[in-house]
Amino acid sequence: GAQSEERECAFNDQQQQDWPMTRENTTIRCSKGSRCYGLWEKTRDGEIHLVKQGCWTHIGDQQECHDDRCVVTTTPSQIQNGTYRFCCCSTNMCNVNFTEDFPPPSPTSAQLYPRPLYREETIVIALASVSIVAVLIVALFFGYRMLSGDRKQGLHNMDMMEAAASEPSLDLDSLKLLELIGRGRYGSVYKGSLDERPVAVKVFTYQNRLNFVNERAIYRVPLLEHDNIARFIVGDERLTADGRVEYLLVMEYYPHGSLCQYLSLQTGDWVSCCRLTHSVTRGLAYLHTELLRGDIYKPAVSHRDLNSRNVLVKNDGTCVISDFGLSMKLTGNRLVRPGEEENAAISEVGTVRYMAPEVLEGAVNLRDCESALKQVDMYALGLIYWETFMRCTDLFPGEAVPDYQMAFQAEAGNHPSFEDMQVLVSREKERPKFPEAWKENSLAVRSLKETMEDCWDQDAEARLTAQCSEERMAELLLIWDRTKSVSPTVNPMTTTLQNER
C-alpha cells in the first residue's frame, strides 16, 4: 500500500529551482512510491545544520527506506570528515528530524595518549626497530631476487591467494576464442565461449602485463559488482602454442558492443538516450563512491580513460563501464596503482580526444588528487552526453539526425594529436558545438545543455560530481515523462509546462 500512495515530506532546498513535485512552504507532496529523506551536517562541536530535505525516488538502490523514522545507519564517510548524516524513511513528515544508530568507532581507532617512555624502554624499542628494519631489507632483497629469477612464476604466486578468495574455480581449458571483435591500446578483444556460454576475452601481451594486473585488481575490488559496471568472470595467464606468455581477462559478453559502435548504427528517442546516459552516470557515481559495509571496504575508484569506446551497451538499452587498465583506487589522497609513483604518470593518461584541460596542461591538482581525478572523469562524461544526444531523434524535429561523430571530430578530425587538443581545449577553450535545432528555449533542452556545460567546465572544481549528474539525468527523464504528450523541444511558455512549474 505504501508504494501506491502519495507521500508528504518535510522540504528544504534553497538551490532547487524547478522541483518536479508539488510543494508548499516547508512541505512537499511526493509522487507515488517515493520516500522522504534528509541530509544534515553535524559539526565537530555537535551543532546540527540542515542541508536538504525532500522526496527520495531512488528506491531501487540499496537504501530501501522502510523505517517509519529517519534513522542514520551508515557510518559517515571519513572523506567528508564524518560530518554528513543521511537518512530516509517511509511515513509522512518522517524526515523532520533524525536519530543515529550506527556502530561506534572501535577503541583501536580512537587516539591514544601514551605515558612517557623511560630511558631503558626507549633503548629497547630503538634496538628492536633497527632489527626489524634489517630483517625487512634482507627479506626484500631475497624477494626481489626470486621475482626477477622467474617473473611469470612470481606473478602467479603473488596473486594466487587473492584469486582463490575472489574468483570461481573455472577450467580455462574449455575457453575458445572465436572471433576478433576489437583491438585497443593494450590488447585485443575476442568473442569466445567458456563452458559453452558466450564471453568476451581481453588478451594482453607480456609487454602490457602491468595493465592486466591493474585491471584485474580493479575488478577484484570488494563490492564492485554493479548493474552498470562490466561483469568480470576470471583473469589468468597462459602459454601460447609458440611458448609466449599472455594474460586473459574473461568478461560477460555484450552483443551490442561499445556505445561508440551502438550510436554509429542507430538513433534513439529522448527516453532511450536518457537511459543510456543515466546508466553510464550511475555506474560512474558508484565507482566514485567509497563504501563501508560491515568489515568490507570499497575505496573510491577513478576510471581515468572514460570514453564512448570504454562503455558497453546491454540488451535492455542501458550501459556498463569497462576497461579499467588505467584506473586507480583512491583512498583519501593516497593513490593505489602498481608502478605509478611519479606525478606525470598519475595525471597524463587517457585518450587524447577526451582529456580534460588540466590533463592537457599537466596541471592536475595532485594536492587533492581524489577530487581532481574524479573531475577528470566528469569532463569525459560530458563529452559522452554530447555524443549520445546528437543521435536523439526528438532533438531534431522535422529534420534528419546527424551521422554519429565523436567529440571534437568536426574540429580536430579522426586522429588528433596531444598538441592539437592542447590548443583546442586548453588554450582556445573550445567544446563540442550545440546544433541549431537545440536553440529552442525549452526546459528539457536548456537543462540538457546546462548539464553538459557543468560537466566539461574549464574550471575542474566547478564541475558536477557524478552523484549530482546522476540526479540531473534522472530529472531529464522525468521532464520528458511528465510532458510525453508533447515534444521536449516545445516552448516552455506553453500552458502545459507553466502548470507543471
The pLDDT of 252-275, averaged and rounded, is 96
Place of cell 557543468: 454
Helix (H, G, I), strand (E, B) or coil at 169: coil
Task: Indicate if 183 and 268 belong to the same structural domain.
Answer: no
pLDDT at 165 over 60: no
CA distance 6 to 8: 7
Task: Indicate if 200 and 269 belong to the same structural domain.
Answer: no
Which range has highest mean pLDDT (98-102, 161-165, 349-353, 492-496)? 349-353
Task: Indicate if 412 and 324 belong to the same structural domain.
Answer: yes
Task: Indicate if 226 and 309 belong to the same structural domain.
Answer: no
Q: What is the DSSP letter of 107?
A: G
Task: Indicate if 327 and 436 belong to the same structural domain.
Answer: yes
Degrees to nearest 5, angle at CA 477 with 472 and 483: 125
Task: Indicate if 173 and 226 belong to the same structural domain.
Answer: yes
Q: Does any domain span residue 416?
A: yes
* pLDDT at site 452: 98
Q: Does any domain span residue 1?
A: no
Place of cell 626507549: 122
Query: Nearest to residue 273, comparing CAs of 392, 109, 381, 143?
Result: 392
- Picking from 104, 122, 145, the residue at the C-terminal end of a domain is 104
Q: In this structure, are residues 37 and 61 in contact, taking their beta carbons and an 8 Å threshold? A: no
Distances (CA, A) of 96 to 17, 24, 26, 99: 21, 15, 10, 11
Q: Does any domain span residue 171?
A: yes
* pLDDT at site 451: 97
Longest dimension (CA), the chain: 88
Please state the length of the chain.
Answer: 501
* pLDDT at site 112: 43
CA distance 334 to 285: 20
pLDDT at 108 over 60: no
Number of structural domains (the chain) is: 3
Task: Indicate if 369 and 461 belong to the same structural domain.
Answer: yes
Q: Does any domain span residue 133?
A: no
Q: In this structure, are residues 375 and 455 in contact, taking their beta carbons and an 8 Å threshold? A: no
- For 429, the grid coordinates are 577553450
Distances (CA, A) of 248 to 97, 188, 209, 219, 393: 52, 10, 10, 13, 40
Q: Does any domain span residue 98?
A: yes
In the set 305, 323, 377, 394, the catalytic residue is 305
The pLDDT of 68-74, averaged and rounded, is 84
- Picking from 201, 218, 252, the residue at the C-terminal end of a domain is 252
* pLDDT at site 62: 47
Q: What is the DSSP letter of 400?
A: P
Task: Indicate if 225 and 320 belong to the same structural domain.
Answer: no
* pLDDT at site 204: 95
Query: Nearest to residue 376, comparing CAs of 466, 498, 489?
Result: 466
The CATH number of the domain holding residue 279 is: 1.10.510.10
CA distance 472 to 476: 6
Task: Indicate if 245 and 357 belong to the same structural domain.
Answer: no
pLDDT at 220 over 80: yes
Instruction: Check residues 73 and 484 and name the one with the higher pLDDT.
Output: 73
Task: Indicate if 208 and 266 belong to the same structural domain.
Answer: no
pLDDT at 338 over 60: no
The pLDDT of 392-413, averaged and rounded, is 95
Helix (H, G, I), strand (E, B) or coil at 477: helix
* pLDDT at site 377: 97
pLDDT at 67 over 90: no
Q: Does any domain span residue 160?
A: no
pLDDT at 498 over 80: no
* pLDDT at site 20: 46
- For 183, the grid coordinates are 583491438
Task: Indicate if 300 and 246 belong to the same structural domain.
Answer: no
**The model's pTM:** 0.64
Distances (CA, A) of 290 to 178, 193, 264, 323: 38, 34, 35, 20
The CATH number of the domain holding residue 189 is: 3.30.200.20
Task: Indicate if 263 and 248 belong to the same structural domain.
Answer: no
Q: Does any domain span residue 436?
A: yes
Q: In this structure, are residues 466 and 226 in contact, taking their beta carbons and an 8 Å threshold? A: no
Question: Long-range contacts made by residues 331-339, C-beta under 8 angstroms, separation at least 24?
Answer: 331/299, 331/300, 332/78, 332/79, 332/370, 333/367, 333/368, 333/369, 333/370, 335/369, 335/373, 336/299, 337/214, 338/210, 338/213, 338/214, 338/217, 339/210
* pLDDT at site 77: 57
Place of cell 532533438: 395
- Picking from 57, 73, 104, the residue at the C-terminal end of a domain is 104
pLDDT-derived band at 279, boundaries 50, 70, 90? very high
CA distance 320 to 306: 11
Instruction: Check residues 64 and 184 and name the one with the higher pLDDT.
Output: 184
Q: Does any domain span residue 138?
A: no
Task: Examine the residue annotation and report whether 13 is marked as an active-site residue of this protein.
Answer: no
The CATH number of the domain holding residue 54 is: 2.10.60.10
- For 13, the grid coordinates are 532546498
The pLDDT of 189-200, averaged and rounded, is 93
Place of cell 568489515: 295
End-to-end CA distance of the chain: 28
pLDDT-derived band at 52, boundaries 50, 70, 90? confident
Instruction: Check residues 350 and 490 and name the one with the higher pLDDT.
Output: 350
Query: Nearest to residue 349, comparing CAs of 323, 382, 368, 311?
Result: 323
Percent over 90 (pLDDT), the chain: 49
- For 483, the grid coordinates are 510532458
Q: Is 298 annotated as a binding residue?
A: no
Kindly report, residue by residue over 437-473, the tens digit of the pLDDT. 998 778 899 999 999 999 999 999 999 999 999 999 9
The parent domain of residue 288 ranges over 259-500
